[in-house]
Amino acid sequence: MLNAVLMTDQELDQLRRDKWHLNGHPVRTLEDARAFIESVGFCLLYPVKQPVLVPTFIGAWAGSDERLPTWQHAFSDPRSQDATDLMVRLLREHAAYEANLIDQNKAFLVVASIFPYFYALVGERNPKQAPKAGPRSEYSQLASDAFELIRREGPISQQEMRDVLGGSISFAALDHALSELWSKLRITRVDYNPAEGASWG
């Protein structure tokens, strides 16, 4: 008969804190960030109001889960900018991808090695077909135009996209159109520049 070794809740919690870097050993380098996202597979950038048992990138960066900001309060927390900068480096290197999975937390990070499986579960069912606007379509005309521009030009900033599509388009309308595409993983954020904002590809 096999003797099963059972973990106590306390041991499981300690193992989780170690793996999620909530044990005082923060993630500060690109190599550490790559290793973290590869070991956990996916994480939120910030915690959500109703706690979900999932790792957060800001928690790994801080090395703790004490007083972490939600995305609504990130602008006032000095740790957020450094953690976001490191996350953007992961996106640039294609070590991770960002998905729009949870409405109250826009940044859901998925490691590159499992992204194809994640895409199969949440992404567009017919990815080779370009989104078309229409009465029964879940895509607006602006979303279809933005998708075609990204397909044709490659990664492009939101400001450049607005200029090419017509300067009269509001940023709010463009944000909404990009969210339509992002929610089905038709596009993803591939870079961020404080002067130009997000670049999409």
Residues 143 and 93 in one domain: no
Q: What's the structural domain count of the chain?
A: 2
Q: Are residues 14 and 86 in the same domain?
A: yes
Task: Say if 52 falls within a structural domain.
Answer: yes
Task: Flag whether pLDDT at 173 surpasses 60.
Answer: yes
126 in Cβ contact with 139 (< 8 Å): no
Residues 171 and 143 in one domain: yes
**pLDDT, tens digit (0-9, with 9 covering 90-100), for 58-92:** 999 999 998 888 888 888 888 888 998 999 999 99
Token code pair at residue 131: 């989104």
Last residue of a domain, one of 122, 150, 168: 122
Q: Are 156 and 150 in contact (CB under 8 A)?
A: yes
End residue of a domain, out of 78, 98, 122:
122
Domain boundary, last residue among 81, 97, 122: 122
In 3D, which of 182, 194, 186 has the Cα closest to residue 81? 194
Q: Residue 3 burial (CB < 10 Å; 0-12/13-18/19+)?
A: exposed
pLDDT for position 95? 96
Residue 110 and residue 122: Cα distance in Å, rounded? 12
State the pTM of this model.
0.82
Give the structural domain span for 109: 9-122
For residues 107 and 128, state if they share a domain. no
Within-domain flag for 115: yes
Residues 135 and 86 in one domain: no
Residue 140 has pLDDT above 80, yes or no: yes
pLDDT tens sequence across 85-109: 999 999 999 999 998 876 655 688 9
